[in-house]
Amino acid sequence: MEAVNSLDVEAVRADFPILQRKIGDKPLAYLDSAATSQKPAQVTDAMRRFSDYSNANISRSVHTMAAEATDAYEGARAKVASFIGAPSPDEVIFTKNSTEAINLMTYAFQNASVERGADPRFTLRPGDEVVVTEMEHHANLVPWQQLCLRTGATLRWLGVTDSGRLDLDDLHEVVNERTKVVSFTHVSNLLGTVNPTAAVVARAKEVGALVGLDSSQAAPHLPVDVAGLGVDFIAFTGHKMLGPTGIGMLWARAELLGAMPPFLSGGSMIETVTMERTTFAGPPAKFEAGTPPVAEAVGLAAAIEYLEALGMDHVRAHEQDMAGYMLEGLGAVDGLTVIGPDVPTDRIATVSFTFADIHPHDVGQVLDSEGIAVRVGHHCAKPTCARFGVTATTRASAHVYTTTDEIDRLVSALEKVRKVFA
Amino acid sequence: MDLDELYQEVILDHYKHPRGTGLREPYEGESHQVNPTCGDEITLRVHVEDGRLADVSYQNVGCSISKASASVLYELVNDVPVDEARTKMDEFTELMNSKGLGEPDEDTLEDAVAFTGVSKYPMRVKCALLGWMALKDALIRAEASVPTPRGGAE
């Protein structure tokens, strides 16, 4: 049941000044939104208005601007909460990015594992198991891997099928009574796969494990509803969803946040401090030591408002159309192999491919000479590349401002690539 | 952007027909280098005999720039005195850091002068230097190792 694609892409594009720029003498075709999306003027305007008019530190002073800044920051938190269907804004923790949000989780486990009297759901010992997948961005692999190395727990993972789907054949074996936490990617940044979360979440719940999602590539493109997903935590980031860099989010169930030891400590996260001891504030403050990214929160709120005005169903429908168009166009290129699902079902318009033995660096360089921006390399997912026997891929990715014309330009520029390296 | 300036004929020729590839014995120093941003890799060995680089052998995966650079490296330093190889290494490194303004000496750098254009592309300088970093490291390792008559020192 997909909504009809009714996005007015030309009207959307008018909101993104950067899309007017040229690369050399060629108009920009920005097909690298999975790395970072562009920001509409509404976002940069909101940040500028805040900086020019209301800038102050939050939650500290009684003056007017401090109150305005606090309202803006907490307003952004409420905006995020409603965007993902969270029951309370207090369940949203602002971080620097998704990576920090995931580290906030892994360090909760690590700290609990060495502290006396910690909640046993967060303590890891040899014999305990942690589950990820073979299609993780390094951000949702390395922190868990390091956590296991430090605590003696065992890292396990679900594999990936040849067609780029999560391999659930051994789900019951990999997620078992020893599993304490399952953390997996909602949407793969390399393959574009939208994962079947329900099956994995149900199995995790069945064995009493905590379960969370790296939703960095999901939140920008699909409606995300934490209640519907049934998960315990999700991590995502502002700069991939039309917002600014420097702000990410962790959402976790209030009860869990209450039980988790803090990650970073210092100012703003305390209840009371003596020279010997500190008691901590409740969530979210407990997890937000130091001055937070206030202007970035304002920009993020504007980005969410922008996406909500477009309607996430329409955003999803446009994404689906672009995925289909990209797969069709690229699929017809001789010598090109798509790494990931080759049908637009349960995937986003992030398409990785190899091309005629030409190294992705070289592909990307020639595409750049045509004004086309794509990502080349291992996309911070080396094990996923290894799974498919490649060291690197070229990746094109779309967002709300992407046009079929840009995808056509990509497809025809690949013939120029072929000519240079033939 | 002038693509021809980056992908000079000489570079494409070395890429398509790389010289001196394959790992050979004997050798005293071996280095494995990785470009973490793209996953490109090279393993390079040096065999030093009487102060000369009697053999430089290598195996690599990578883009046209990194593969062509390794091939040019082989041509420049294979069977030359170690001191001279180091001088060429320094000259090439300097050229790569010149941001397109270098004026390389064609007598010493030969085909490597074609990489002048690469130095304008900061994202590709690392590609061009990967093999040379391996050479530098392999020479240090060769010096540190106890030479054995048939090489392959451990």
Q: Which residues contact A314 (CB under 8 A, 6 or more apart)?
A: A3, A5, A6, A7
Measured between CB atoms, which of B39, B40, B121 is closest to A385? B39
Chain B environment of A362 (Cβ under 8 Å)? 7, 63-65
Q: Which run of H or of E encompasses A252?
A: strand A248-252
pLDDT at position A28 over 50: yes
**Window from A96-105, A204-213, A243-252, B9-18 with minimum mean pLDDT:** B9-18
Tell me the mean pLDDT in the region A150-169: 98
pTM score of the predicted model: 0.92
Give the pLDDT confidence score for residue A330 in this predicted structure.
Answer: 98
Mean pLDDT taken over chain B = 89
Structure tokens at A140: 């949702």
Chain A environment of B127 (Cβ under 8 Å)? 361
Owner of token pair 């000369």: B52
pLDDT at position A180 over 80: yes
Question: Which pLDDT band, with edges at 50, 70 and 90, does B36 fall under?
Answer: confident
Q: Residue B9 and residue B26: Cα distance in Å, rounded?
A: 33
B3/A contact by beta carbon, under 8 A: yes
Give the pLDDT confidence score for residue B151 in this predicted structure.
Answer: 46
Question: Which pLDDT band, with edges at 50, 70 and 90, does A78 fall under?
Answer: very high
Closest alpha carbon within chain A to B4: A420
Give the pLDDT confidence score for residue A2 in this predicted structure.
Answer: 46
Full residue range of the structural domain in which residue B78 is found:
3-145
Angle at which helices B64-77 and B9-16 cross, to 10°? 90
The CATH number fitting domain A45-308, selected from 3.40.640.10, 3.10.450.240, 3.40.50.10240, 3.40.50.720: 3.40.640.10
Q: What is the DSSP letter of A53?
A: I
Owner of token pair 């794509």: A374
Angle at A362 between CA A360 and CA A363, to 5 degrees: 60
**Window from A28-32, A226-230, B37-41, B70-74 with minimum mean pLDDT:** B37-41
pLDDT at position B100 over 90: no
Cβ of A359 and B7 within 8 Å? no
Cis amide leading into B149 (omega within 30): no
Cβ of B39 and A359 within 8 Å? no
The candidate with the shortest Cα–Cα distance to A249, out of A44, A91, A69, is A91
The CA-to-CA distance between both ends of chain B, in Å, stands at: 48
Considering chain A, tell me which residue range(s) the CATH 3.90.1150.10 domain(s) occupy. Answer: 9-40+311-420
B154 within some domain:
no
Tell me the mean pLDDT in the region A389-393: 93
B70 within some domain:
yes
A154: left (phi over 0), alpha (psi -120 to 50) or beta: beta
Q: Residue A364 and residue A359: Cα distance in Å, rounded?
A: 9
CB B20 within 8 A of CB B57: yes
Structure tokens at B5: 């300036």
Give the pLDDT confidence score for residue B35 in this predicted structure.
Answer: 87
Angle at A396 between CA A184 and CA B125, to 5 degrees: 100
Q: Residue A187 and residue A194: Cα distance in Å, rounded?
A: 4
Question: Which pLDDT band, with edges at 50, 70 and 90, does A52 fall under?
Answer: very high
**Window from A274-288, A318-332, B106-120, B127-141 with minimum mean pLDDT:** B106-120
Buried b (16+ CB within 10 A) or exposed e, B67-84: bbbbbbbbebbbeeebee
Question: Which pLDDT band, with edges at 50, 70 and 90, does A375 fall under?
Answer: very high
Mean pLDDT taken over chain A = 96
Q: What are B31's strand-pairing partners?
A: B44
Alpha helices (H) along A50-163:
64-83, 98-114, 142-151
**How confident is the model over B67-79, as pLDDT tens digits?**
999 999 999 999 9
Give the pLDDT confidence score for residue B153 in this predicted structure.
Answer: 44
Q: Parallel, antiparallel, or unpaired: how do β-strands A210-214 and A179-185 relate? A: parallel
CB A131 within 8 A of CB A182: yes
B115 within some domain:
yes
The candidate with the shortest Cα–Cα distance to A396, out of A315, A328, A334, is A328
Q: Which residues contact A8 (CB under 8 A, 6 or more apart)?
A: none
Give the pLDDT confidence score for residue A4 in this predicted structure.
Answer: 56
Give the pLDDT confidence score for residue A255 in this predicted structure.
Answer: 97
Chain A environment of B1 (Cβ under 8 Å)? 23-24, 368-369
Instruction: Please name the amino acid found at residue B116.
Output: T
What number is the ipTM of this complex? 0.84
Task: Determine the residue among B7, B118, B121 to mutate to test chain A binding: the one whose Cβ has the most chain A Cβ atoms within 10 Å.
Answer: B7
State the architecture of A9-40+311-420 in CATH terms: Alpha-Beta Complex (3.90)
The count of structural domains within chain B is 1
Task: Determine the residue among B14, B37, B121 to mutate to test chain A binding: the one whose Cβ has the most chain A Cβ atoms within 10 Å.
Answer: B37
Interface of A with B in 324-383 (CB under 8 A): 359-362, 365-366, 368-369, 376-378, 382
Structure tokens at B66: 């990194």
CB A191 within 8 A of CB A182: no
- What is residue B68's three-state secondary structure? helix
Q: What is the DSSP letter of A17?
A: G
Measured between CB atoms, which of A366, A376, A378 is closest to B3? A366
Q: Which residues contact A386 (CB under 8 A, 6 or more apart)?
A: none
Q: Which residues contact A238 (CB under 8 A, 6 or more apart)?
A: A244, A245, A246, A247, A248, A249, A296, A299, A300, A303
CB A380 within 8 A of CB A329: no
The candidate with the shortest Cα–Cα distance to A80, out of A243, A195, A196, A230, is A243
Structure tokens at B79: 């069977």
B129 within some domain:
yes
CA separation, residue A329 to residues A30, A267, A418, B38 (Å): 17, 53, 16, 26
CATH of the domain at B39: 3.90.1010.10
